[in-house]
Amino acid sequence: MRKTKGAAVNKVAMGVDIGGTNSKLGYVDADGNCLASMSIPTRPNQAAKLFFRRLHENACRLFSRLPAGYDLIGIGIGAPNANFLKGTVENPPNLDWGMVDVLDEIRNYYDVPVAVTNDANAAALGEMLFGAARGMKDFILITLGTGLGSGIVANGELVYGADGFAGELGHTVVDPNGRTCGCGKRGCLETYCSATGLCRTVSELIGSTTIPSELRDVSFRELTARKIFRSARRGDPLAVKAFESCGATLGLKLADAVAHLSPEAIFLFGGMAAAADLLFDPARRSMEDNLFPIYRNKVKLLPSGLKENTAGMLGAGALIWNLTERH
Amino acid sequence: MRKTKGAAVNKVAMGVDIGGTNSKLGYVDADGNCLASMSIPTRPNQAAKLFFRRLHENACRLFSRLPAGYDLIGIGIGAPNANFLKGTVENPPNLDWGMVDVLDEIRNYYDVPVAVTNDANAAALGEMLFGAARGMKDFILITLGTGLGSGIVANGELVYGADGFAGELGHTVVDPNGRTCGCGKRGCLETYCSATGLCRTVSELIGSTTIPSELRDVSFRELTARKIFRSARRGDPLAVKAFESCGATLGLKLADAVAHLSPEAIFLFGGMAAAADLLFDPARRSMEDNLFPIYRNKVKLLPSGLKENTAGMLGAGALIWNLTERH
């Protein structure tokens, strides 16, 4: 693939958002515009090598659709269990990849800078460069999906920590004797605050209370965060209580995060964040109640400023733009 | 006061450690040697203006004792409730100072760079420049005294956060229904893990268990962390259990801190840290038990590498050296 088409005037970064089922790739300019994008099946049971070959083929085709004069300055990749410092993806939970040296895989096809990070870190960078965190030097982004991920920015830089795995707020402890977590521990935040956590709360409330609810007719297997959201919007008291419980637990642990980092803002991103006031109101209340007094009424709890369907790509592209003088 | 004596060849920073009873000042060279130091009474009931006048008078006298050829490059100050970003000390709990613009006060006497931060942040900088954290870019320092303070270094920089007050791990929440804290909240970490917290634990254990203990003869007012330490060293089972409980709670919250920051090491500093294995062993066990698996067996829990009696001054001096090319 040629890096440059015609007289290079415009720079573009490739952003790749690797998911368990589908992966998205797009070309992102310095202002966070996604100039062209597509989705490809990830095929999680195939070897990583085959994925990166397909990625390259599709990326070439997509690049040819850009207007003339674009120069590819680098490739940013967001992936589960990605390690920025090592350039690896390490045993991602939903992909049969084992340990993959992503930088090596990409170098088979491209001679441009490559960077890899996990989806929450990519989202935080996207938010900082192109979203609602523009101009902020200290903030936290929380991704609320199946699980709970987080990206932390301090002093204007993403915090990777000593081993590249900083920002796992989903596995801070709410209750050492609490719910069992997929990680092997008990009482992790994401067992309460995530789509899965919300379903577990509904199930517990069905058992522990006599609050009437249409969700008493739904099996746990059939239950989704979206169903609980719709019930709550219709005023179902048990569904509302589940959101309140989820928000209260989130707020408690966000207050802890503030005591570490004193961020200007905390952003909620992902499917669950769409629950808006149902989640934000109890989370904000609980956070303020649990904040050390010097932090009170200072920390904004905000929805992400990026659209969910492109945020992954933008964030991955931001990985490259963050290393580069943008204008 | 002359800044330079004779032909200036050696640079020195003044480090001032303001305490509730006494304050220490010293001249610290680029290698963290304290060339001259003294202690002055803080006189917490007098106005701050009088303190800074006395500080200047004493600092001049002390400077005259240095060999010829030293050049004062700046003044670093560690003080309770100090804000690096604003250069202020804001209503320190043990001083009748109200809100003090420290930079203004010092500028009455000196024309060199001045920086101010709280004691835990100063200790963290001291550890990074002159202590056991040399070469580390990501670490946390915990001060265990009457309360629990913390300084956080990420990406090689102290984390101040958006408002200058980051790093208050003492007020993260162990139990939202737990012990009342001086800050007005409940269940703060420092109500369990600090000299005061240890005494409270002993008192609770005396009431809640029948474990024999020589401490059953000591009133709460007479109780000190040092007494509990001596009892534990003599094998007193209740005193040992109090340390175990303190360490276990500390470890739980350190695991949370690791999930935020993935530090290379966590340093314990201050009086309580002298309890060594009595505290470190249960803290280390509990931290490992509560760590998200990717962090396990990676994070070192270490004693500070600085001597407690000079660490405050060195840390305050490090504030200046950290802004300066050292060699």
Average pLDDT, chain A: 94
With cut-offs at 50, 70 and 90, classify the pLDDT of residue A2. Answer: very low
B98 touches chain A (CB under 8 A): no
Could you give phi then psi for residue B41, rounded to 5 degrees?
A: -65, 140
Contact A173 B298 (CB under 8 A): no
pLDDT (mean) for A108-129: 95
* Interface predicted TM-score (ipTM) over 0.90: yes
Helix crossing, B225-233 with B277-290: angle to 10°?
Answer: 90
Residue of A nearest to B297 (CA): A163
Q: How many CB atoms lie within 10 A of CB B10?
A: 14
Q: From the list B139, B162, B184, which residue is nearest A293 (CB)?
A: B184
Residue of A nearest to B158 (CA): A155
Contact A138 B166 (CB under 8 A): yes
Q: Annotate B12-32 with b (16+ C-beta within 10 A) or e (fewer).
A: bbbbbbbbeeebbbbbbbbeb
Mean pLDDT for back-to-back runs of 10 residues, chain B (327 residues):
55 94 95 95 94 97 94 95 93 89 96 95 96 97 94 97 95 97 95 97 98 98 97 98 98 98 97 91 98 96 92 95 79
Are A314 and A125 spatial neighbours (Cβ–Cβ below 8 Å)? no
CA distance B60 to B50: 16
Q: Annotate A146-155 with b (16+ C-beta within 10 A) or e (fewer).
A: bbbbbbbbbb
A257 Cβ partners below 8 Å, 6+ apart?
A140, A169, A263, A266, B260
Contact B172 A138 (CB under 8 A): no
Residue A208 CA: distances (Å) to CA of A189, A197, A221, B302: 20, 16, 19, 44
The pLDDT value recorded for residue A7 is: 53
β-bridge partners, B4: B71
Q: From the list B165, B261, B292, which residue is nearest A159 (CB)?
A: B261
Name residues 274-293 of chain A within 8 A of B (Cβ).
290, 292-293
The pLDDT value recorded for residue B2 is: 44
Residue of B nearest to A141 (CA): B260
A46 touches chain B (CB under 8 A): no
Contact B259 A160 (CB under 8 A): no
The pLDDT value recorded for residue B5 is: 47
Contact A292 B257 (CB under 8 A): no
A287 Cβ partners below 8 Å, 6+ apart?
A250, A251, A252, A254, A255, A258, A299, A301
- % residues pLDDT > 90 (chain A): 87
Interface test with A, best of B86, B117, B260 (most A CBs within 10 A): B260
Contact A252 B176 (CB under 8 A): yes
**Contacts across the A-B interface (CB distance below 8 Å):** 144
Looking at beta carbons, which residues of chain B come within 8 Å of A164? 262
Q: Measure the N-to-C terminal CA separation of chain B; round to a whole number of Å.
A: 25
CA distance A203 to A242: 9
Compute, in degrees rounded to 10, the torsion defined by CA atoms A37, A38, A43, A44.
30
Residue of B nearest to A161 (CA): B262
**What are A137-159's pLDDT values in tens digits?**
999 999 999 899 999 999 999 99
B298 touches chain A (CB under 8 A): yes
Contact A164 B255 (CB under 8 A): no
A173 touches chain B (CB under 8 A): yes
CA distance A175 to A252: 12
A270 pLDDT exceeds 60?
yes
Contact A185 B160 (CB under 8 A): no
Interface test with A, best of B91, B292, B322 (most A CBs within 10 A): B292
